[in-house]
Amino acid sequence: MEIEERERPKRRMRSKAERRGIVEETYQAGASVARVARRHGVNANQVFNWRRQYREGKLEVDPALPALVPVQVTAALAGRRESKPPASGSITGTIDIELGHARVRVIGRADADCVRAALEGLAR
């Protein structure tokens, strides 16, 4: 009588960028860690471990590489134009930025250095 041995599936090593992307999917509204893990062929417990690493800032990608973030133009503001330039100090618009685990809303005139500092702090 011969016993057949089952082969173990080979483990796939994922880059920090891949792990970060999987984790960020789990933070989307209505997302299930188990479903996201299954879709990527990963054990849900591993994804929970990556989420902890993400919160601790251990899944940061090389800052020298350019980072692209998705931008969404809502229908309420699409195509809207100002008929005259806004007066100085008046509210000129709103910027909503979602970074997986946090949301930033800038209302009115935005100081570029202040927004950059806030985003860099949240990205850590």
Domain spans in the chain, listed from the N-terminal domain onward: 16-55, 69-124
pTM above threshold 0.85: no
Q: Hey, is 63 helix, strand or coil?
A: coil
d(CA 73, CA 5): 55
**Own/partner long-range contacts of 107-113 (Cβ < 8 Å, ≥24 apart):** none
Mean pLDDT of 11-27: 91
Q: Does residue 84 have a pLDDT over 60? A: no
| Cβ density class 101-116: b for 16+ within 10 Å, e for less | eeeeebeeeeeeeeee
Confidence of residue 79 (pLDDT cuts 50, 70, 90): low
Confidence of residue 27 (pLDDT cuts 50, 70, 90): very high
* More reliable by pLDDT, 103 or 90: 103
Non-local CB neighbours of 12 within 8 Å, separated by 6+ positions: 41
Mean pLDDT of 38-56: 94
* More reliable by pLDDT, 96 or 99: 96
Q: Does residue 61 have a pLDDT over 80? A: no
* More reliable by pLDDT, 9 or 28: 28
